[in-house]
Amino acid sequence: MGEIIYINEEHKAIIEEYLKFIQRDVYDVTENANCGKFSDFQELLGDILRYHNDFFDMAIKDNNFGEWIFSIPNLCMFTSLGFYAGLKNKENEKMIQTHINLMHETTMNTVAVLSDFLKDMEAILNE
């Protein structure tokens, strides 16, 4: 994965913490599902980060930071849920459902933190 575009160090810390969670969670699921698909997810994650970076220019031009700032957690969550659905079988269904619930909770918490961050940034810009 290449460099990720961040607004500032606080934004970087929020996103990097979330990405560490995603990496750990997907690794745990793929190892526990005995499927060896962790590297496949890395390709998907690279696509998400590339989209995030490419979308930045449009966000600046159209003054649409709200959508851009939430792109990584939203896309990671939905990509992970689809990825997990492809791994689910009768033997690992409960384990995967536990990870789905954790993914949802962590993503919603991250979105809430980013929402507060965005409000703070808007307040600073409007001073």
117 phi-psi bin (left φ>0, alpha ψ -120 to 50, beta other) = alpha
Q: Report which of 43, 40, 42, 29 is spatially closest to residue 87, judged by C-alpha positions.
A: 29
Contact by Cβ (8 Å): 114, 69: yes
Write the pLDDT tens digit of every residue in 62-121.
777 788 999 999 999 999 999 999 999 999 999 999 999 999 999 999 999 999 998 887
User: At 47, which amino acid appears?
Assistant: D
Write the pLDDT tens digit of every residue in 9-25.
999 999 999 999 999 99
For the chain, the structural domain boundaries read 9-125
Q: Which two tokens stand for residue 124?
A: 């600073």
d(CA 74, CA 72): 6
d(CA 35, CA 20): 21
Q: Which pLDDT score, from 0 to 100, does residue 21 have?
A: 98
Asked if pLDDT for residue 54 goes beyond 80, the answer is: yes
Question: What is the average pLDDT across 56-60?
Answer: 85
Contact by Cβ (8 Å): 75, 41: no
Q: Which pLDDT score, from 0 to 100, does residue 33 have?
A: 66
